[in-house]
Structure 1
Amino acid sequence: MGFHAFTAAVFALSLSLILRGSALAHEKFDDQFNVVWSSSNNILAYDDSKEVELSLTKAGGANFQSSDYFLYGSFSVKLKLIHGESAGTVTAFYLTSFGENHDEIDFEFLGNETGEPYTLHTNLFVNGTGGREQRIKLWFDPTTDFHTYTIIWNHFQILWLVDYIPIRFYRNLEDIYPGSYPHLRPMVVSACLFDASAWATQDGTKPVKWQYAPFVVKYKNFAFEACEVQRDGSTPCDHNYRANWWEGLYYQKLDEERRDQVMWVVSKWKIYDYCYDNKRYPRAPLEPLECNYNVPWVW
């Protein structure tokens, strides 16, 4: 077993022990989630296997979201992506608030032509402003088996993890750059499959090929360990948030091992980073200002 496989296995074991007691484990789909939009039969939920199947046809795709709102926590799901031709499609797992100045933390999987690797697109919106995209190629085929995708959002940083390997982090720099970190607006957990022919694959040059429809993606084993926002707007960890495991020292910054993992992803698999897009940001990487604090080699 190689270095990355070993560390991922150890981290997976520790996280699985933590998440085993998730409140979602024994709930039915309708108790956890609301359907936001769906064409006929485009959401199939199997309570016995904890699996949710979304499909995309010419009639449309599907979107569902958690009934509860959260402010900080760990949010995880297993996904098996569309097999074969998937150009023009986007599968998403993300956190989002609502309104003009919404916050959002994204995993988006951009479809591909048959035989090409999937692209994983991550992004962050704060106060309604996004434009913080990064893209990587996955180092495995995400269509043949389920893989685990996790967002850990705490008072110190956001971590995006694939099979428990951190692929990206984003530090809380509110003291330096106010309005740069999501910390005020509770978010729901959302999942969707939709037609994004205009931009998803090769900058929109490869639209959905409807002759291959229906396109099917499978979600299962949702696991949320988080601060649920109450009806009065309070959360159970307003005052004692440091007692939550996702706020612990291990998740407040990257240690040497996880810094090496992020650098491995950056060096081998990253294909786009907004911090180095000189067309959008002529002074990159000096601006956007948060970029200089969100690279692993500065730790």
Structure 2
Amino acid sequence: MSWTANFDNPDYGSSAFDADWTSLLTPNRAALRDNALVLELAFDSARNVGTGAQVSSHDKHTEQYGELTAVVKSGATHTGVACVLALQSQETRDEISFEWVGKDPACVQTNYSAKGAADFTTMVPASGIDTTVDFHTYAIRWTPEEITWRVDGRPVRTLRRADTWDATSRTHKYPDSAAGVELSIWDDPSTAGSAVTDWAGGPVSYAEGATYSMLVRSVTFTSYS
């Protein structure tokens, strides 16, 4: 089934949000304002850590194969801040994503994983995009045979299922499970030298009450089922 969340439509209110999304983190730092869904990362003095936001359509909309389109402005304006737009299966941890990190705000990364096997080596960057300054349209076309990532209508990467064959496990490491849409902003809590820290470029500065905001104007999923 195809569906759309137009956050920039004044008629899209809290009841519409609750029909499409579930907030996965406490406190909930996702809110509708300024004609967008705003996901925030800020310092939580009670916990002495940064806390972000994550929302998922998984409980409301889950599809296998189709096209995801979202209009997004990244909030990854400082090293260590990460923003993610993903198709993810909560059952198998299959994932297809766009990811932004403050280490390189002029770049969006494309990534995928199969059955929860996170692999930082599968990321492919698309550079030359002011991801934190302007809104851009990000799209993922997902079929049983290939995945294509596009930015503002321009293909930036194509992954063919045939190219994911793993001779050791004798399986294709290709995302093929029904998935929901996830949007998130978070910081890197890891220690120096970890794979996540090397990727995101942490730590994050929360000096003078700094808050980082990811803005999403709309999300559309067109099902091929």
Shorter-chain TM-score range: 0.7 to 0.9
Cα distance in 1 for partners of 2:156, 2:122 equals: 13
What displacement does 1:180 show?
2.2
User: What fraction of aligned residue pairs are identical, expressed as a percent?
Assistant: 25
What displacement does 1:154 show?
0.7
Q: Deviations over 1:234-257 (max 9, x none)?
A: xxx3xxxxxxxxxxxxxxxxxxxx
Instruction: Please state which structure has a larger fraction of its residues in helix.
Output: 1
Q: Deviations over 1:124-159 (max 9, x none)?
A: 111222325224253131222210111110122001
Matched-pair contact (CA < 8 Å) for 2:79–2:200: no
Partner AA of 2:137 in structure 1: T
What displacement does 1:174 show?
8.6
Does structure 1 residue 70 correspond to structure 2 residue 63? yes
Give the RMSD, CA atoms, in angstroms.
2.7
Cα distance in 1 for partners of 2:175, 2:149 equals: 15
Q: Deviations over 1:237-280 (max 9, x none)?
A: 3xxxxxxxxxxxxxxxxxxxxxxxxxxxxxxxxxxxxxxxxxxx
Match of 1:55 among 30, 34, 40: 40
Matched-pair contact (CA < 8 Å) for 1:54–1:216: yes
Matched-pair contact (CA < 8 Å) for 1:117–1:141: yes
What displacement does 1:175 show?
10
Q: Deviations over 1:19-51 (max 9, x none)?
A: xx95445762222111111425x11124x93x2
Distance 1:71 1:174, change over 3 A: farther
SS in structure 2 of the partner of residue 86 of structure 1: coil
SS in structure 1 of the partner of residue 222 of structure 2: strand
Match of 1:139 among 128, 147, 150: 128
Match of 1:217 in 2: 214
Match of 1:171 in 2: 160
Cα distance in 1 for partners of 2:94, 2:20 equals: 21
How many pairs are equivalent? 199
What displacement does 1:196 show?
1.7
Match of 1:259 in 2: none
Instruction: Please state which structure has a larger fraction of its residues in strand.
Output: 2
Match of 1:155 among 141, 144, 148: 144
What displacement does 1:219 show?
0.7
Matched-pair contact (CA < 8 Å) for 1:90–1:200: no
Provide the TM-score with structure 1 as the length reference.
0.59
Match of 2:111 among 123, 147, 150: 123
Provide the TM-score with structure 2 as the length reference.
0.77
Partner AA of 2:72 in structure 1: L
Cα distance in 2 for partners of 1:81, 1:204 equals: 14
Matched-pair contact (CA < 8 Å) for 2:67–2:223: yes
Q: Deviations over 1:44-85 (max 9, x none)?
A: 124x93x200110122101001121110000011111227x4
Structure 2 gap segments, 5+ residues each:
45-50
